[in-house]
Chain A
Amino acid sequence: MKKDMTKLGLTLMLYASLACASLAVVYAFTKESIDKQSELQLQASLKELFPEATVFDPIQDLSSPDPNIKFESAYEVKSDKAALGLAVKATGPSYGGNATLLVGIGLNRSVAGVRVMALNDTPGLGMNASNPTYYVDKTKKVTFLGQFAGKFLTDPFEVKKDVVAITAATISSRSLTNIIKAVGNAAVAYMDQKAVTAPTESGPSAEAGANTGAQPQAGGK
């Protein structure tokens, strides 16, 4: 009986180690690709927010004003000639867990744009934050995050006042808005402190320019 147990145990061990070994092989093959994916996604999104940018310098000394919202990484964005603004990857609590956004802040203290990095939410409701065909303003085709582009940080950033909420997902809308606001405030403070300012003639970045006209109407539908 005892001998049987040892034999069974050994068999089980054998199968388990075989499984682990084969997984290690697959992992080794896919690891590079997986790591690259999140990096690629970040790079692509950074590029989208600041199309003219050529350099993204990581910066360390930018801390979140809100203890619930964590800044995972932050970059000073520059083109060949001048500084363009800041971009911050921030994670904060939302409705279905944590949400991670990439927020770009232009030198004129306005939001250059917002991209979703990771989001868990109810499909059809909060998930619409990352849905490119869900518009808070149907006539102008402005998405929920699109409405922030070109928005100045002196605005109140209050959902249902100057920010249109996603239908039936007020809590998600509020959480995401809070993340953007936190990044904005930190970025403005940083820029004031380091005296990073815009060259006189430059307006909001090209991406922001496309959407600046779309001031959201309070209340939504």
Chain B
Amino acid sequence: MKKLYSIFKQGIIFENPLLMLMIGLCSAIAVTSNVSNGIGMGLAMTFVLLFSEIIISLFRKLIPSMIRIPIFIIVIAAFTTIVDLVMKAYFPDLSKSMGVFIPLIVVNCIIMGRVEAFASKQNLPSVIADALGMGLGYTWVLIGLAAVRELLGNGTLAGIQIMPASYQPILFFILPPGGFFVFSLFISFNLWLKKRMEVSARNKELAAKKEAA
């Protein structure tokens, strides 16, 4: 259980796919001009990641290693299509506002990377923990980015007016350059957080050693 938790935890900060590994970036900045898109994209992505990892982990002994990449692509493409169809059917507005970024989940390096490096080698429980951790790591960054951009750039959160009416929105944050700007600060913040956590972990270790001595 403890092992599963530590796998789960990895994706959220230390190996955050967006902020640390720098993969799967396309959709992250593009859809975050408002919070509802951010949530939608995060969930869509987590769904595809989770089910692709599960299927591949279950079938890992039946996948010849020479043709594993095409098979991974097929599995991922299938789940992406499912998400695409379901969103078109039940959340047409969300699907429309995300446009080409739903099909682009297929080539999202996070999924390919996790499937190749993790799911094809591990058993089911660790795979689920990994997919959820990575998915959550992805989703929180998306929601965070979207919240900052929407609040400053439009004065709203998920479409609800938050800022007082006299607030003049800073259009910059909703525009593409603003996305890069906020994202840059997010990486910076995550680096700082990681460093701090590492330092405190080391201090704890040292303290423990001292006590033992």
Contacts and interface: CB of A to CB of B under 8 A. Distances in A.
A and B touch in the complex (CB under 8 A): yes
A125 B74 contact: no
A8 interface: yes
B4 interface: no
Interface residues of B, number: 31
B171 interface: yes
Contact of A124 (B64, B67, B171): B171
A199 B54 CA distance: 66
A34 B89 contact: yes
B113 interface: no
Contacts of B153: 124
Contacts, number: 66
B70 interface: yes
A37 B78 CA distance: 23
A217 interface: no
Nearest to B155: A133
Nearest to A134: B154
B99 interface: yes
SS of A interface (majority) = helix
B175 A19 contact: no
A12 B70 contact: yes
Given A30-B89, A124-B33, A124-B154, A19 B78 contact: yes
Contacts of A34: 85, 88-89, 92
Contacts of A120: 99
Interface in A2-37: 7-8, 11-12, 15-16, 19, 22-23, 26-27, 30, 33-34, 37
